[in-house]
Chains A and B, each alone.
Chain A
Amino acid sequence: MRKINIESTLYSQLIIDDENKLVIKFQPKTNVFLYCISEMRDKLRKWREENYRNSEQIVDVGEELINEHASKLGDDIWIIYEQVMIAALDCSRDDLAWSCLQELKRQFPDSHRVKRLAGMRLEALERYEDANKLYDSILQDDPTNTAARKRKISILRAQGKSSEAIRELNEYLEQFVGDQEAWHELSELYINEHDYAKAAFCLEELMMTNPHNHLYCEQYAEVKYTQGGLENLELARKYFAQALKLNNRNMRALFGLYMSASHIAASPKVSAKVKKDNVKYAAWATSQISRAYQLQHLPAGVMLTSLALSISSKTPYTTAASAGVAVVIEIHGRRQT
């Protein structure tokens, strides 16, 4: 929360009038502390629209707005109550969450949206059975309520019931095929379960509908790399390159490009031409990495030494300190050669 100290000039003073406008009134010189309400509202709106999860900040700004300036917020206040309530749950502030919920219940007594918030509070208190009952009652009323269905899946996830969560999420996506958030959640669940083929499928869906999103490309490439084998490494390299095309500052993609190209070049199964091409890609990646570090005046030494070591003579991970004793990192049994 920012207080703006506006040292007024001799005759003017900045105040917020009753219609919430910033005006200049001419008055004798005084010091005025102003809470820049519109700035706080804008911040909350930005965080809402871009789905930030900076809950501590939201609680900070939101609590102030609600407690001190509720009358100046107009109809925005309800959506702010909702936003602050969810953030409060995230920060274990049940007191704040409860008071926001009460205001919303009073204003919207039969709302499913508010019922869902009540359910989320029960989840935060780990009263999962009660939360499920609430969501089930919403779904009885309105079987198409996606929010309630997703909360039920989140409960399964919180309880560690991954396979059930995956099953439910798959069923959900059969009906609601365009739900990006759900596809991404499913890809995360599959990655945690080491089911990389299915995770790749989810990411493919996401890339199709979001072709300009460099993060999906990069994640897809990481999954392919993890699956291992020459074909997957080549796909990985292509998608790391695609991610870089979409955002040339994606460091993960740059490192990923280096590692996949180097592994392909080091493979005994590739033709001389493929080897040569991949050596070129790897060299390009190294130069870009070096440049990125130098631009920030950072020592690139450790980075580049370790890169060279990471693909030296068939082993992706070598300890320099114990020469001759190579430690190979095989993630899930696939050798990266």
Chain B
Amino acid sequence: MSMGEVELSCLAYAKMYLHASQFPRCSVNGLLLSSSAAGGAVCITDCVPLLHTHLSLAPITQLALTQVDVWCSQTQQRIVGYYQANACASDSSPTPCALKIAEKIFEQCNNAVLLMIDGEKMFPGCRVPPIVMYERKDARWALKDKHTIMLRQWEETCSIVNQLFSSGDQALLVDFDSHLDDITKDWTNQKLNAKIMELVSPANGNV
């Protein structure tokens, strides 16, 4: 993979999709993480779902960002991007709040990406990934060329997401907001991660 390319793993995609599906009437957001070294292409290997209420209020956003940052440094990951799904499914343009947070991430990571989930494409049987990606170019966020976005094993990823829904495991997803409502819920989603990785493994014929 070369510079400017972005790879989105099944794990990251599945959790983002589940997050948007869990709160269909709200705007949701989260952070995109990478466990690979900096430089070269961006491999988004995981994501942390953050909020589904009051995305533009500061205290919980600040708290969540700091938490995730500390957790990343403990687990050898970096924050490389931000995702958001708007409540209004027909409008997938980045909000001022999205741009601000993405800006801050860009200050730390010079190939950071901003990912908007396109609600209109989130229906069963849609052949195209429901995502729109932006990158920083000439001091603004510009649409990324679709051909530089890699979603390896797209068919398998879709099938894994469907399996999560049919097994009821999509309800396992916890975002930071839910954690604050009930602190026994794990916002790092260890359980769900394990389930997804199991489905991804070659033993399940998914490679």
Q: Which of B5-13, B58-66, B145-153, B199-207 contacts A (4 or more CB under 8 A)?
A: B58-66
Contact of A255 among B54, B63, B70, B73 (CB under 8 A): B63
Contact between chains at A306 and B62 (CB < 8 Å): no
How far does the alpha carbon of A158 sit from the alpha carbon of B60 in the complex, in Å?
A: 26
Q: Which of A287-337 contact B (CB under 8 A)?
A: 292-293, 296, 298, 302-303, 305-307, 309-310, 316-322, 325, 327-332, 336
Contact of A259 among B63, B74, B90 (CB under 8 A): B63
A329 / chain B contacts, CB cutoff of 8 Å: 58, 61-62, 65, 101, 104
Contact of A296 among B65, B66, B108, B183 (CB under 8 A): B183
A63 / chain B contacts, CB cutoff of 8 Å: none
- Would you give the shortest CB distance from A172 to chain B, in whole angstroms? 21
B71 / chain A contacts, CB cutoff of 8 Å: 302, 306
How far does the alpha carbon of A219 sit from the alpha carbon of B107 in the complex, in Å?
A: 30
Q: Which of A13-21, A94-102, A221-229 contacts B (4 or more CB under 8 A)?
A: A221-229
Q: Does any Cβ of B come within 8 Å of A192's Cβ?
A: yes
How far does the alpha carbon of A176 sit from the alpha carbon of B105 in the complex, in Å?
A: 44
B167 / chain A contacts, CB cutoff of 8 Å: none
B180 / chain A contacts, CB cutoff of 8 Å: 251-252, 255
Contact between chains at A298 and B58 (CB < 8 Å): no
With A302-B70, A309-B70, A321-B72 as known contacts, state yes or no: A327 contacts B56, CB within 8 Å. Answer: no
With A255-B63, A332-B100 as known contacts, state yes or no: A222 contacts B58, CB within 8 Å. Answer: yes
How big is chain A's contact interface, by range? 35 or more
Contact between chains at A321 and B78 (CB < 8 Å): yes
With A309-B66, A327-B108 as known contacts, state yes or no: A293 contacts B57, CB within 8 Å. Answer: no
- Would you give the shortest CB distance from A14 to chain B, in whole angstroms? 32
With A252-B180, A305-B70 as known contacts, state yes or no: A160 contacts B63, CB within 8 Å. Answer: no
Contact between chains at A331 and B58 (CB < 8 Å): yes
A293 / chain B contacts, CB cutoff of 8 Å: 183
Contact with A along B97-116 (1 / 0, CB 8 A): 10011001101100000000
How far does the alpha carbon of A158 sit from the alpha carbon of B57 in the complex, in Å?
A: 22
B181 / chain A contacts, CB cutoff of 8 Å: 251
B183 / chain A contacts, CB cutoff of 8 Å: 251, 292-293, 296, 298
Q: Does any Cβ of A come within 8 Å of B2's Cβ?
A: no
Contact between chains at A222 and B60 (CB < 8 Å): yes
A53 / chain B contacts, CB cutoff of 8 Å: 25
Q: Which residue of A lies closest to B77 (CB)?
A: A321
B60 / chain A contacts, CB cutoff of 8 Å: 222, 252, 255-256
Q: Does any Cβ of A come within 8 Å of B69's Cβ?
A: yes
Q: Which residue of B lies closest to A296 (CB)?
A: B184
Contact between chains at A191 and B54 (CB < 8 Å): yes
How big is chain B's contact interface, by range? 35 or more
Contact between chains at A259 and B62 (CB < 8 Å): yes
Dominant secondary structure of chain B at its interface with chain A:
helix
Contact between chains at B54 and A320 (CB < 8 Å): no
Contact of B58 among A219, A226, A307, A318 (CB under 8 A): A226
- Would you give the shortest CB distance from B117 to chain A, in whole angstroms? 16
Q: Which residue of B lies closest to A236 (CB)?
A: B59
Contact with B along A237-272 (1 / 0, CB 8 A): 000000000000001100110011000000000000
Q: Which residue of B lies closest to A91 (CB)?
A: B24
Q: Does any Cβ of A come within 8 Å of B96's Cβ?
A: yes
Q: Which residue of B lies closest to A226 (CB)?
A: B58
Q: Does any Cβ of B come within 8 Å of A69's Cβ?
A: no
Q: Does any Cβ of B come within 8 Å of A194's Cβ?
A: yes
How far does the alpha carbon of A221 sit from the alpha carbon of B67 in the complex, in Å?
A: 21
- Would you give the shortest CB distance from B169 to chain A, in whole angstroms? 16
How far does the alpha carbon of A226 sit from the alpha carbon of B56 in the complex, in Å?
A: 8
How far does the alpha carbon of A256 sit from the alpha carbon of B60 in the complex, in Å?
A: 8
B61 / chain A contacts, CB cutoff of 8 Å: 329, 331
B73 / chain A contacts, CB cutoff of 8 Å: 319-321
Contact between chains at A306 and B69 (CB < 8 Å): yes
Contact between chains at B59 and A226 (CB < 8 Å): yes
Contact of B56 among A192, A256, A307, A336 (CB under 8 A): A192
30 pairs of residues in contact across A and B, judged by CB atoms under 8 Å: A191-B54, A194-B56, A222-B59, A222-B60, A223-B57, A226-B57, A251-B180, A252-B59, A252-B180, A255-B59, A256-B59, A259-B59, A260-B59, A292-B183, A298-B184, A302-B71, A305-B70, A306-B63, A306-B66, A309-B70, A317-B69, A318-B69, A321-B78, A327-B107, A329-B104, A330-B104, A331-B97, A332-B58, A332-B96, A336-B58
A-B contacts besides A160-B91, A191-B54, 13 pairs, CB < 8 Å: A222-B57, A226-B58, A260-B59, A293-B183, A302-B74, A306-B67, A321-B78, A327-B105, A331-B58, A331-B62, A332-B56, A332-B96, A336-B62
Q: Interface on B for A, CB 8 Å cutoff?
A: 25, 54, 56-63, 65-67, 69-74, 78, 88, 90-91, 96-97, 100-101, 104-105, 107-108, 180-181, 183-184
